[in-house]
Chains A and B, each alone.
Chain A
Protein backbone atom coordinates (compact mmCIF):
# COMPACT_ATOMS: atom_id res chain seq x y z
CA UNK A 1 0.00 0.00 0.00
CA UNK A 2 2.86 2.35 0.89
CA UNK A 3 4.52 1.56 -2.45
CA UNK A 4 1.31 2.42 -4.25
CA UNK A 5 1.23 5.81 -2.51
CA UNK A 6 4.86 6.31 -3.45
CA UNK A 7 3.99 5.82 -7.14
CA UNK A 8 1.57 8.75 -6.96
CA UNK A 9 4.16 10.96 -5.27
CA UNK A 10 6.91 10.04 -7.75
CA UNK A 11 4.69 10.51 -10.78
CA UNK A 12 3.40 13.87 -9.53
CA UNK A 13 6.94 15.07 -8.77
CA UNK A 14 8.19 13.92 -12.18
CA UNK A 15 5.21 15.56 -13.88
CA UNK A 16 5.82 18.87 -12.09
CA UNK A 17 9.52 18.77 -13.00
CA UNK A 18 8.74 17.86 -16.61
CA UNK A 19 6.17 20.65 -16.83
CA UNK A 20 8.64 23.31 -15.64
CA UNK A 21 11.35 21.91 -17.92
CA UNK A 22 8.93 21.98 -20.87
CA UNK A 23 8.23 25.67 -20.23
CA UNK A 24 11.92 26.50 -20.31
CA UNK A 25 13.17 24.48 -23.24
CA UNK A 26 12.93 25.49 -26.90
CA UNK A 27 14.43 27.78 -29.55
CA UNK A 28 14.52 30.54 -26.93
CA UNK A 29 15.82 29.18 -23.58
CA UNK A 30 13.61 30.71 -20.93
CA UNK A 31 14.21 31.38 -17.19
CA UNK A 32 10.85 30.01 -16.05
CA UNK A 33 10.64 31.20 -12.43
CA UNK A 34 11.99 34.66 -13.26
CA UNK A 35 9.49 35.03 -16.13
CA UNK A 36 6.62 33.96 -13.88
CA UNK A 37 7.82 36.63 -11.44
CA UNK A 38 7.67 39.22 -14.19
CA UNK A 39 4.14 38.17 -15.17
CA UNK A 40 3.11 38.23 -11.50
CA UNK A 41 4.35 41.79 -11.16
CA UNK A 42 2.57 42.89 -14.36
CA UNK A 43 5.77 43.37 -16.39
CA UNK A 44 5.83 42.30 -20.03
CA UNK A 45 8.89 41.03 -21.86
CA UNK A 46 9.88 38.81 -24.76
CA UNK A 47 10.10 35.95 -22.27
CA UNK A 48 6.63 36.51 -20.79
CA UNK A 49 5.04 36.62 -24.25
CA UNK A 50 6.74 33.36 -25.27
CA UNK A 51 5.74 31.75 -21.98
CA UNK A 52 2.09 32.78 -22.06
CA UNK A 53 1.42 32.57 -25.79
CA UNK A 54 3.48 29.54 -26.78
CA UNK A 55 5.02 27.43 -24.03
CA UNK A 56 2.24 27.40 -21.39
CA UNK A 57 -0.59 26.33 -23.74
CA UNK A 58 1.71 23.71 -25.24
CA UNK A 59 2.72 22.26 -21.86
CA UNK A 60 -0.84 22.39 -20.50
CA UNK A 61 -2.17 20.62 -23.60
CA UNK A 62 0.59 17.99 -23.37
CA UNK A 63 -0.49 17.25 -19.79
CA UNK A 64 -4.21 17.25 -20.60
CA UNK A 65 -3.94 15.19 -23.79
CA UNK A 66 -1.42 12.75 -22.30
CA UNK A 67 -3.60 12.27 -19.22
CA UNK A 68 -6.68 11.71 -21.38
CA UNK A 69 -4.97 9.11 -23.56
CA UNK A 70 -3.37 7.28 -20.61
CA UNK A 71 -6.59 7.25 -18.59
CA UNK A 72 -8.82 6.23 -21.50
CA UNK A 73 -6.34 3.50 -22.52
CA UNK A 74 -6.34 2.04 -18.99
CA UNK A 75 -10.15 2.16 -18.91
CA UNK A 76 -10.53 0.45 -22.27
CA UNK A 77 -8.08 -2.31 -21.35
CA UNK A 78 -9.84 -2.86 -18.01
CA UNK A 79 -13.33 -2.74 -19.46
CA UNK A 80 -12.62 -4.99 -22.43
CA UNK A 81 -10.18 -7.13 -20.36
CA UNK A 82 -7.83 -6.95 -23.28
CA UNK A 83 -4.21 -5.78 -22.89
CA UNK A 84 -4.14 -4.71 -26.55
CA UNK A 85 -7.16 -2.41 -26.31
CA UNK A 86 -6.57 1.32 -26.82
CA UNK A 87 -8.78 4.42 -26.71
CA UNK A 88 -9.45 4.45 -30.45
CA UNK A 89 -10.81 0.91 -30.54
CA UNK A 90 -14.44 2.01 -30.27
CA UNK A 91 -14.30 4.44 -33.18
CA UNK A 92 -13.98 7.68 -31.18
CA UNK A 93 -10.66 8.70 -32.80
CA UNK A 94 -11.91 7.94 -36.28
CA UNK A 95 -15.03 10.05 -35.69
CA UNK A 96 -12.97 12.97 -34.38
CA UNK A 97 -10.56 12.82 -37.32
CA UNK A 98 -13.46 12.70 -39.78
CA UNK A 99 -15.16 15.68 -38.11
CA UNK A 100 -11.96 17.72 -38.23
CA UNK A 101 -11.17 16.73 -41.82
CA UNK A 102 -14.65 17.84 -42.87
CA UNK A 103 -13.82 21.28 -41.44
CA UNK A 104 -10.65 21.37 -43.56
CA UNK A 105 -12.48 20.10 -46.65
CA UNK A 106 -15.38 22.55 -46.47
CA UNK A 107 -13.04 25.49 -45.83
CA UNK A 108 -14.70 26.19 -42.47
CA UNK A 109 -11.30 26.02 -40.78
CA UNK A 110 -9.93 28.85 -42.95
CA UNK A 111 -12.78 31.17 -41.92
CA UNK A 112 -13.00 30.11 -38.25
CA UNK A 113 -9.93 28.28 -36.84
CA UNK A 114 -11.74 26.94 -33.76
CA UNK A 115 -14.10 25.10 -36.14
CA UNK A 116 -11.41 22.41 -36.33
CA UNK A 117 -11.54 21.28 -32.67
CA UNK A 118 -15.29 21.82 -32.56
CA UNK A 119 -15.73 19.70 -35.67
CA UNK A 120 -13.55 16.98 -34.16
CA UNK A 121 -15.55 16.97 -30.95
CA UNK A 122 -18.82 16.83 -32.86
CA UNK A 123 -17.40 13.91 -34.87
CA UNK A 124 -16.40 11.94 -31.78
CA UNK A 125 -19.75 12.50 -30.04
CA UNK A 126 -21.62 11.55 -33.21
CA UNK A 127 -19.54 8.38 -33.46
CA UNK A 128 -20.60 7.47 -29.89
CA UNK A 129 -24.26 7.93 -30.82
CA UNK A 130 -23.80 5.64 -33.84
CA UNK A 131 -21.87 3.17 -31.64
CA UNK A 132 -24.81 2.98 -29.23
CA UNK A 133 -27.21 2.41 -32.11
CA UNK A 134 -25.05 -0.34 -33.62
CA UNK A 135 -24.20 -2.13 -30.37
CA UNK A 136 -27.78 -2.21 -29.10
CA UNK A 137 -28.26 -2.60 -25.37
CA UNK A 138 -24.47 -2.47 -24.71
CA UNK A 139 -24.87 -5.48 -22.40
CA UNK A 140 -21.79 -7.14 -23.78
CA UNK A 141 -18.38 -6.01 -24.84
CA UNK A 142 -18.19 -8.08 -28.03
CA UNK A 143 -21.00 -6.11 -29.70
CA UNK A 144 -19.23 -2.88 -28.68
CA UNK A 145 -15.90 -3.96 -30.17
CA UNK A 146 -17.52 -5.09 -33.43
CA UNK A 147 -19.47 -1.84 -33.68
CA UNK A 148 -16.25 0.12 -32.96
CA UNK A 149 -14.33 -1.73 -35.67
CA UNK A 150 -17.12 -1.03 -38.18
CA UNK A 151 -17.22 2.65 -37.16
CA UNK A 152 -13.46 3.05 -37.46
CA UNK A 153 -13.47 1.47 -40.91
CA UNK A 154 -16.27 3.79 -42.04
CA UNK A 155 -14.66 6.90 -40.55
CA UNK A 156 -11.26 6.21 -42.13
CA UNK A 157 -12.88 5.37 -45.50
CA UNK A 158 -14.78 8.68 -45.45
CA UNK A 159 -11.63 10.56 -44.37
CA UNK A 160 -9.76 9.01 -47.32
CA UNK A 161 -12.66 9.94 -49.61
CA UNK A 162 -12.49 13.62 -48.59
CA UNK A 163 -8.73 13.60 -49.09
CA UNK A 164 -9.29 12.01 -52.50
CA UNK A 165 -11.91 14.59 -53.49
CA UNK A 166 -9.99 17.58 -52.17
CA UNK A 167 -9.40 19.97 -55.08
CA UNK A 168 -6.78 21.92 -53.15
CA UNK A 169 -3.52 19.91 -52.77
CA UNK A 170 -2.35 22.25 -49.98
CA UNK A 171 -5.53 21.56 -47.98
CA UNK A 172 -4.96 17.82 -48.46
CA UNK A 173 -1.35 18.21 -47.31
CA UNK A 174 -2.54 20.22 -44.31
CA UNK A 175 -4.96 17.43 -43.40
CA UNK A 176 -2.19 14.82 -43.64
CA UNK A 177 0.14 16.88 -41.42
CA UNK A 178 -2.63 17.64 -38.93
CA UNK A 179 -3.38 13.93 -38.59
CA UNK A 180 0.22 13.28 -37.53
CA UNK A 181 -0.45 15.09 -34.27
CA UNK A 182 1.18 18.21 -32.89
CA UNK A 183 0.97 20.66 -30.00
CA UNK A 184 2.64 23.49 -31.89
CA UNK A 185 0.82 26.78 -32.47
CA UNK A 186 -1.93 26.07 -29.94
CA UNK A 187 -3.16 28.86 -27.68
CA UNK A 188 -4.85 29.18 -24.31
CA UNK A 189 -8.12 29.32 -26.29
CA UNK A 190 -7.53 25.71 -27.29
CA UNK A 191 -6.85 24.85 -23.65
CA UNK A 192 -10.07 26.55 -22.55
CA UNK A 193 -12.04 24.84 -25.30
CA UNK A 194 -10.76 21.34 -24.51
CA UNK A 195 -10.68 21.57 -20.70
CA UNK A 196 -14.44 21.25 -19.91
CA UNK A 197 -14.82 18.23 -22.20
CA UNK A 198 -11.70 16.56 -20.85
CA UNK A 199 -12.58 17.16 -17.19
CA UNK A 200 -16.09 15.78 -17.76
CA UNK A 201 -14.56 12.76 -19.56
CA UNK A 202 -12.05 12.12 -16.76
CA UNK A 203 -14.82 12.23 -14.15
CA UNK A 204 -16.89 9.69 -16.10
CA UNK A 205 -13.90 7.38 -16.58
CA UNK A 206 -12.72 7.42 -12.97
CA UNK A 207 -16.30 6.85 -11.72
CA UNK A 208 -16.24 3.16 -12.67
CA UNK A 209 -12.91 2.11 -11.16
CA UNK A 210 -14.56 -0.39 -8.78
CA UNK A 211 -16.62 -1.83 -11.64
CA UNK A 212 -13.43 -2.27 -13.67
CA UNK A 213 -11.91 -4.23 -10.77
CA UNK A 214 -15.01 -6.45 -10.55
CA UNK A 215 -14.91 -7.10 -14.31
CA UNK A 216 -11.61 -8.92 -13.70
CA UNK A 217 -13.83 -11.86 -12.71
CA UNK A 218 -15.86 -11.75 -15.94
CA UNK A 219 -19.11 -10.03 -16.83
CA UNK A 220 -21.48 -12.42 -15.03
CA UNK A 221 -19.66 -12.29 -11.72
CA UNK A 222 -19.26 -8.52 -12.00
CA UNK A 223 -23.01 -8.18 -12.53
CA UNK A 224 -23.66 -10.40 -9.52
CA UNK A 225 -21.50 -7.94 -7.53
CA UNK A 226 -23.86 -5.11 -8.45
CA UNK A 227 -22.10 -3.81 -11.57
CA UNK A 228 -24.51 -2.56 -14.22
CA UNK A 229 -22.81 -3.38 -17.51
CA UNK A 230 -25.10 -1.09 -19.48
CA UNK A 231 -24.45 1.97 -17.32
CA UNK A 232 -20.73 1.23 -16.97
CA UNK A 233 -20.20 0.90 -20.72
CA UNK A 234 -22.25 4.05 -21.34
CA UNK A 235 -20.10 6.09 -18.93
CA UNK A 236 -16.84 4.66 -20.24
CA UNK A 237 -17.64 5.16 -23.90
CA UNK A 238 -18.99 8.66 -23.31
CA UNK A 239 -16.03 9.55 -21.08
CA UNK A 240 -13.60 8.30 -23.73
CA UNK A 241 -15.44 10.21 -26.45
CA UNK A 242 -15.27 13.43 -24.44
CA UNK A 243 -11.63 13.41 -23.38
CA UNK A 244 -10.07 11.53 -26.31
CA UNK A 245 -12.35 13.26 -28.81
CA UNK A 246 -11.23 16.62 -27.40
CA UNK A 247 -7.58 15.50 -27.55
CA UNK A 248 -7.74 14.38 -31.18
CA UNK A 249 -9.69 17.49 -32.10
CA UNK A 250 -7.07 19.79 -30.61
CA UNK A 251 -3.86 18.07 -31.64
CA UNK A 252 -4.60 15.29 -34.14
CA UNK A 253 -3.86 11.60 -33.72
CA UNK A 254 -1.25 10.59 -31.16
CA UNK A 255 -0.73 6.87 -31.33
CA UNK A 256 0.42 4.18 -28.91
CA UNK A 257 0.33 6.32 -25.75
CA UNK A 258 -3.05 4.94 -24.65
CA UNK A 259 -1.90 1.42 -25.42
CA UNK A 260 1.52 1.49 -23.79
CA UNK A 261 1.14 3.66 -20.68
CA UNK A 262 -1.20 1.34 -18.70
CA UNK A 263 1.29 -1.50 -19.22
CA UNK A 264 4.09 0.60 -17.75
CA UNK A 265 1.98 1.39 -14.67
CA UNK A 266 0.33 -1.97 -14.07
CA UNK A 267 3.20 -3.74 -12.25
CA UNK A 268 3.31 -0.89 -9.71
CA UNK A 269 -0.42 -0.99 -8.96
CA UNK A 270 -0.98 -4.68 -8.27
CA UNK A 271 -2.50 -5.12 -11.77
CA UNK A 272 -5.91 -3.99 -10.48
CA UNK A 273 -7.66 -2.23 -13.40
CA UNK A 274 -9.22 0.39 -11.11
CA UNK A 275 -5.94 1.25 -9.41
CA UNK A 276 -4.08 1.70 -12.68
CA UNK A 277 -6.30 4.58 -13.86
CA UNK A 278 -4.82 7.61 -12.08
CA UNK A 279 -1.16 6.48 -12.44
CA UNK A 280 -1.83 5.94 -16.17
CA UNK A 281 -3.20 9.47 -16.45
CA UNK A 282 -0.15 10.92 -14.67
CA UNK A 283 2.33 8.79 -16.62
CA UNK A 284 0.56 9.58 -19.91
CA UNK A 285 0.81 13.29 -19.15
CA UNK A 286 4.50 12.98 -18.28
CA UNK A 287 5.38 10.90 -21.35
CA UNK A 288 3.62 13.27 -23.73
CA UNK A 289 5.42 16.21 -22.09
CA UNK A 290 8.73 14.40 -22.68
CA UNK A 291 7.78 13.56 -26.27
CA UNK A 292 6.86 17.19 -26.89
CA UNK A 293 10.18 18.32 -25.43
CA UNK A 294 11.89 15.78 -27.70
CA UNK A 295 10.27 17.14 -30.89
CA UNK A 296 11.55 20.61 -29.93
CA UNK A 297 15.12 19.64 -29.13
CA UNK A 298 15.78 16.94 -31.76
CA UNK A 299 17.62 18.80 -34.53
CA UNK A 300 15.71 18.46 -37.80
CA UNK A 301 14.85 20.75 -40.70
CA UNK A 302 11.17 20.90 -39.78
CA UNK A 303 9.79 20.12 -36.34
CA UNK A 304 8.96 16.43 -35.98
CA UNK A 305 5.28 15.68 -35.49
CA UNK A 306 4.34 14.49 -32.02
CA UNK A 307 2.30 11.52 -33.26
CA UNK A 308 5.30 10.35 -35.30
CA UNK A 309 7.56 10.38 -32.24
CA UNK A 310 5.06 8.61 -29.95
CA UNK A 311 4.51 5.95 -32.59
CA UNK A 312 8.24 5.46 -33.19
CA UNK A 313 8.83 5.07 -29.46
CA UNK A 314 5.62 3.10 -28.91
CA UNK A 315 6.15 0.41 -31.53
CA UNK A 316 9.11 -1.25 -29.73
CA UNK A 317 6.98 -1.35 -26.55
CA UNK A 318 4.16 -2.89 -28.54
CA UNK A 319 6.50 -5.51 -29.99
CA UNK A 320 7.84 -6.28 -26.51
CA UNK A 321 4.24 -6.75 -25.37
CA UNK A 322 3.59 -9.19 -28.20
CA UNK A 323 6.68 -11.23 -27.25
CA UNK A 324 5.66 -11.18 -23.56
CA UNK A 325 2.13 -12.37 -24.45
CA UNK A 326 3.60 -15.08 -26.68
CA UNK A 327 5.86 -16.26 -23.83
CA UNK A 328 2.90 -16.39 -21.43
CA UNK A 329 0.84 -18.42 -23.89
CA UNK A 330 3.58 -20.94 -24.65
Chain B
Protein backbone atom coordinates (compact mmCIF):
# COMPACT_ATOMS: atom_id res chain seq x y z
CA UNK B 1 0.00 0.00 0.00
CA UNK B 2 1.22 3.49 -0.84
CA UNK B 3 1.97 5.89 1.98
CA UNK B 4 0.11 8.64 0.15
CA UNK B 5 -2.29 8.01 -2.67
CA UNK B 6 -4.05 10.39 -5.05
CA UNK B 7 -7.21 9.11 -6.72
CA UNK B 8 -8.75 10.91 -9.66
CA UNK B 9 -7.73 14.43 -8.64
CA UNK B 10 -9.14 17.22 -10.79
CA UNK B 11 -9.19 20.96 -10.28
CA UNK B 12 -10.03 24.01 -12.37
CA UNK B 13 -8.66 27.45 -11.63
CA UNK B 14 -10.93 29.94 -13.37
CA UNK B 15 -11.92 28.52 -16.72
CA UNK B 16 -8.75 26.43 -17.04
CA UNK B 17 -8.68 22.77 -16.03
CA UNK B 18 -5.32 22.54 -14.27
CA UNK B 19 -5.48 18.89 -13.21
CA UNK B 20 -7.56 16.23 -14.92
CA UNK B 21 -8.13 12.89 -13.22
CA UNK B 22 -4.65 12.49 -11.72
CA UNK B 23 -3.98 9.26 -9.83
CA UNK B 24 -0.73 7.96 -8.41
CA UNK B 25 0.82 6.49 -5.29
CA UNK B 26 3.76 7.66 -3.20
CA UNK B 27 5.62 4.74 -1.62
CA UNK B 28 7.66 4.99 1.58
CA UNK B 29 11.44 4.76 1.27
CA UNK B 30 11.62 6.26 -2.22
CA UNK B 31 12.14 9.60 -3.90
CA UNK B 32 9.35 10.17 -6.39
CA UNK B 33 9.91 12.95 -8.90
CA UNK B 34 7.25 15.03 -10.58
CA UNK B 35 8.45 16.49 -13.86
CA UNK B 36 6.73 18.37 -16.65
CA UNK B 37 6.77 21.68 -18.50
CA UNK B 38 5.80 25.00 -16.90
CA UNK B 39 2.07 25.25 -16.30
CA UNK B 40 1.58 21.47 -16.33
CA UNK B 41 -0.01 21.57 -12.86
CA UNK B 42 2.87 20.22 -10.73
CA UNK B 43 2.74 22.91 -8.01
CA UNK B 44 -1.06 22.75 -7.96
CA UNK B 45 -0.87 19.00 -7.40
CA UNK B 46 1.56 19.47 -4.50
CA UNK B 47 -0.70 22.10 -2.95
CA UNK B 48 -3.66 19.73 -3.16
CA UNK B 49 -1.61 17.00 -1.48
CA UNK B 50 -0.60 19.49 1.25
CA UNK B 51 -4.32 20.41 1.55
CA UNK B 52 -3.73 24.03 0.62
CA UNK B 53 -6.18 23.62 -2.26
CA UNK B 54 -9.32 21.55 -2.39
CA UNK B 55 -9.75 19.42 -5.54
CA UNK B 56 -13.06 19.64 -7.39
CA UNK B 57 -12.98 15.86 -7.80
CA UNK B 58 -11.03 12.96 -6.37
CA UNK B 59 -9.57 12.11 -3.01
CA UNK B 60 -6.28 11.72 -1.17
CA UNK B 61 -5.53 8.84 1.15
CA UNK B 62 -2.83 8.63 3.79
CA UNK B 63 -2.10 4.96 4.47
CA UNK B 64 -5.56 4.16 3.16
CA UNK B 65 -7.37 6.77 5.29
CA UNK B 66 -9.23 9.46 3.30
CA UNK B 67 -7.89 12.95 4.02
CA UNK B 68 -11.32 14.26 5.05
CA UNK B 69 -11.16 11.88 8.03
CA UNK B 70 -7.86 13.45 9.18
CA UNK B 71 -7.76 16.84 10.90
CA UNK B 72 -5.70 19.70 9.42
CA UNK B 73 -3.31 19.62 12.38
CA UNK B 74 -2.67 15.87 12.10
CA UNK B 75 -2.22 16.27 8.34
CA UNK B 76 0.34 19.00 9.05
CA UNK B 77 2.28 16.55 11.25
CA UNK B 78 2.19 13.83 8.61
CA UNK B 79 3.00 15.87 5.50
CA UNK B 80 5.77 18.47 5.38
CA UNK B 81 5.50 20.98 2.53
CA UNK B 82 8.37 22.99 1.11
CA UNK B 83 6.99 25.91 -0.89
CA UNK B 84 8.61 27.18 -4.06
CA UNK B 85 8.88 30.71 -2.64
CA UNK B 86 11.60 31.27 -0.04
CA UNK B 87 9.74 33.92 1.93
CA UNK B 88 10.78 34.93 5.46
CA UNK B 89 9.15 38.12 6.68
CA UNK B 90 11.08 38.93 9.89
CA UNK B 91 14.83 38.83 10.57
CA UNK B 92 14.75 35.51 12.42
CA UNK B 93 17.82 33.36 12.94
CA UNK B 94 18.24 30.18 10.92
CA UNK B 95 17.55 28.10 14.03
CA UNK B 96 14.30 29.95 14.76
CA UNK B 97 13.20 29.27 11.17
CA UNK B 98 13.95 25.55 11.49
CA UNK B 99 12.12 25.43 14.84
CA UNK B 100 8.96 26.65 13.07
CA UNK B 101 8.78 23.14 11.62
CA UNK B 102 7.62 22.02 15.07
CA UNK B 103 4.48 24.22 14.86
CA UNK B 104 2.04 21.33 14.33
CA UNK B 105 3.48 19.51 17.35
CA UNK B 106 2.84 20.42 20.96
CA UNK B 107 6.47 21.17 21.91
CA UNK B 108 9.44 22.63 20.12
CA UNK B 109 11.66 19.55 20.66
CA UNK B 110 15.15 20.99 20.41
CA UNK B 111 16.71 17.58 19.59
CA UNK B 112 14.70 17.28 16.35
CA UNK B 113 15.61 20.86 15.40
CA UNK B 114 19.29 20.07 16.04
CA UNK B 115 19.03 16.89 13.98
CA UNK B 116 17.45 18.76 11.04
CA UNK B 117 20.21 21.38 11.16
CA UNK B 118 22.83 18.63 11.26
CA UNK B 119 21.29 16.66 8.38
CA UNK B 120 21.35 19.71 6.13
CA UNK B 121 24.82 20.80 7.24
CA UNK B 122 23.47 24.13 8.49
CA UNK B 123 24.27 23.76 12.22
CA UNK B 124 27.06 26.33 11.88
CA UNK B 125 24.54 28.85 10.49
CA UNK B 126 22.02 28.32 13.30
CA UNK B 127 22.50 31.66 15.03
CA UNK B 128 22.93 33.79 11.92
CA UNK B 129 20.01 35.92 10.66
CA UNK B 130 18.33 34.12 7.78
CA UNK B 131 18.32 37.28 5.64
CA UNK B 132 22.10 37.45 5.72
CA UNK B 133 22.59 33.93 4.31
CA UNK B 134 23.50 33.15 0.70
CA UNK B 135 20.85 31.65 -1.61
CA UNK B 136 22.11 28.08 -1.26
CA UNK B 137 22.31 28.37 2.53
CA UNK B 138 18.77 29.73 2.66
CA UNK B 139 17.48 26.80 0.61
CA UNK B 140 19.15 24.32 2.96
CA UNK B 141 17.77 26.07 6.07
CA UNK B 142 14.25 25.95 4.62
CA UNK B 143 14.76 22.29 3.79
CA UNK B 144 15.85 21.76 7.41
CA UNK B 145 12.62 23.51 8.51
CA UNK B 146 10.73 20.97 6.44
CA UNK B 147 12.69 18.05 7.94
CA UNK B 148 12.01 19.37 11.46
CA UNK B 149 8.32 18.61 10.95
CA UNK B 150 9.45 14.96 11.16
CA UNK B 151 6.58 14.01 8.84
CA UNK B 152 6.18 10.70 7.03
CA UNK B 153 5.56 12.48 3.72
CA UNK B 154 7.73 15.28 2.36
CA UNK B 155 6.40 17.40 -0.50
CA UNK B 156 9.08 19.64 -2.01
CA UNK B 157 8.27 22.14 -4.77
CA UNK B 158 11.39 22.90 -6.80
CA UNK B 159 13.77 22.73 -3.84
CA UNK B 160 16.84 23.17 -6.06
CA UNK B 161 15.73 26.07 -8.24
CA UNK B 162 18.35 28.85 -8.47
CA UNK B 163 20.99 26.77 -6.65
CA UNK B 164 24.54 26.14 -7.80
CA UNK B 165 25.46 22.51 -8.76
CA UNK B 166 27.02 21.70 -5.38
CA UNK B 167 23.96 22.89 -3.47
CA UNK B 168 21.66 21.13 -5.97
CA UNK B 169 23.43 17.84 -5.33
CA UNK B 170 23.49 18.42 -1.57
CA UNK B 171 19.75 19.13 -1.43
CA UNK B 172 18.94 16.04 -3.50
CA UNK B 173 21.22 13.87 -1.36
CA UNK B 174 19.35 15.08 1.74
CA UNK B 175 16.01 14.23 0.15
CA UNK B 176 17.26 10.79 -0.81
CA UNK B 177 18.62 10.02 2.66
CA UNK B 178 15.30 11.23 4.13
CA UNK B 179 13.45 8.78 1.89
CA UNK B 180 15.80 5.96 2.84
CA UNK B 181 14.75 6.49 6.47
CA UNK B 182 11.28 5.29 5.54
CA UNK B 183 9.72 8.58 4.46
CA UNK B 184 7.85 9.17 1.22
CA UNK B 185 9.38 12.05 -0.74
CA UNK B 186 7.64 13.75 -3.66
CA UNK B 187 9.77 16.38 -5.36
CA UNK B 188 8.94 18.71 -8.25
CA UNK B 189 11.95 19.11 -10.51
CA UNK B 190 12.78 20.99 -13.69
CA UNK B 191 16.33 19.66 -13.80
CA UNK B 192 15.95 16.39 -15.70
CA UNK B 193 19.55 15.33 -15.00
CA UNK B 194 18.87 15.47 -11.26
CA UNK B 195 15.55 13.69 -11.76
CA UNK B 196 17.32 10.87 -13.59
CA UNK B 197 20.12 10.71 -11.02
CA UNK B 198 18.19 10.87 -7.72
CA UNK B 199 14.58 9.78 -8.25
CA UNK B 200 13.55 6.17 -7.82
CA UNK B 201 10.38 6.82 -9.80
CA UNK B 202 9.10 9.64 -11.94
CA UNK B 203 5.74 10.92 -13.08
CA UNK B 204 5.52 13.14 -16.13
CA UNK B 205 2.70 15.67 -15.86
CA UNK B 206 1.60 17.43 -19.03
CA UNK B 207 -1.43 19.72 -19.39
CA UNK B 208 -2.88 18.45 -16.14
CA UNK B 209 -2.56 14.76 -16.93
CA UNK B 210 0.01 12.14 -15.98
CA UNK B 211 1.28 10.99 -19.36
CA UNK B 212 4.05 8.67 -18.13
CA UNK B 213 5.12 7.03 -14.90
CA UNK B 214 7.79 4.58 -13.84
CA UNK B 215 11.56 4.37 -13.46
CA UNK B 216 13.47 7.40 -14.80
CA UNK B 217 14.64 5.57 -17.91
CA UNK B 218 11.02 4.65 -18.68
CA UNK B 219 9.78 8.22 -18.32
CA UNK B 220 12.60 10.39 -19.68
CA UNK B 221 12.47 8.84 -23.14
CA UNK B 222 13.23 10.86 -26.29
CA UNK B 223 9.62 10.49 -27.34
CA UNK B 224 8.23 11.77 -24.01
CA UNK B 225 10.63 14.74 -23.91
CA UNK B 226 9.77 15.66 -27.50
CA UNK B 227 6.03 15.46 -26.83
CA UNK B 228 5.92 17.21 -23.45
CA UNK B 229 8.83 19.67 -23.56
CA UNK B 230 9.43 20.00 -27.29
CA UNK B 231 13.15 19.29 -26.83
CA UNK B 232 15.77 16.84 -28.04
CA UNK B 233 18.02 15.44 -25.29
CA UNK B 234 21.46 13.87 -25.12
CA UNK B 235 21.69 10.59 -23.21
CA UNK B 236 24.64 8.61 -21.92
CA UNK B 237 25.49 5.84 -19.45
CA UNK B 238 26.90 6.75 -16.02
CA UNK B 239 27.64 4.00 -13.52
CA UNK B 240 24.54 1.87 -13.03
CA UNK B 241 22.30 4.70 -14.29
CA UNK B 242 22.25 7.23 -17.06
CA UNK B 243 22.38 10.93 -17.62
CA UNK B 244 20.08 13.07 -19.69
CA UNK B 245 20.82 16.57 -20.93
CA UNK B 246 18.22 18.64 -22.81
CA UNK B 247 20.12 19.78 -25.89
CA UNK B 248 17.94 21.65 -28.38
CA UNK B 249 14.40 22.78 -29.00
CA UNK B 250 12.53 21.12 -31.80
Contact = CB atoms under 8 A, between A and B. Distances in A.
B249 interface: no
A220 B100 contact: no
B93 interface: yes
B103 A218 contact: no
Given A217-B145, A220-B52, A271-B92, A225 B87 contact: no
B8 interface: no
A225 B92 contact: no
Nearest to B155: A224
Most buried by B among A211, A221, A222, A228: A221
A270 B90 CA distance: 9
Contacts of B93: 270
Given A272-B92, A272-B96, A227 B103 contact: yes
B103 A272 contact: no
A257 to B, nearest CB: 21
Most buried by B among A81, A216, A224, A227: A224
Contacts of B97: 216-217
A207 B93 CA distance: 24
A187 interface: no
Nearest to B84: A220
A306 to B, nearest CB: 30
Most buried by B among A215, A223, A226: A226
B50 A225 contact: no
Contact of A224 (B52, B85, B91, B92): B52
Interface in B127-159: 145, 149
B198 interface: no
A210 interface: yes
Interface stretch (B18-26, B71-79, B217-225): B71-79
Given A218-B89, A220-B83, A271-B90, A213 B100 contact: yes
A215 B90 CA distance: 10
A226 B73 contact: yes
Interface in A187-224: 210-211, 213-218, 220-224
B230 interface: no
Interface string B29-60: 00000000000000000010011100000000
A181 interface: no
B143 to A, nearest CB: 13
A81 B72 contact: no
A95 interface: no
Contact of B72 (A215, A221, A226): A226
B88 interface: yes
Contact of B96 (A215, A227, A270): A270
A218 B83 contact: yes
B104 interface: yes
A217 B87 contact: yes
Contacts of A218: 83, 85, 87, 89
5 contacts: A211-B103, A216-B89, A216-B97, A271-B92, A271-B96
Interface of A: 81, 210-211, 213-218, 220-228, 266, 270-273
Interface of B: 47, 50-52, 72-73, 75-77, 79-81, 83, 85, 87-93, 96-97, 100-101, 103-104, 145, 149
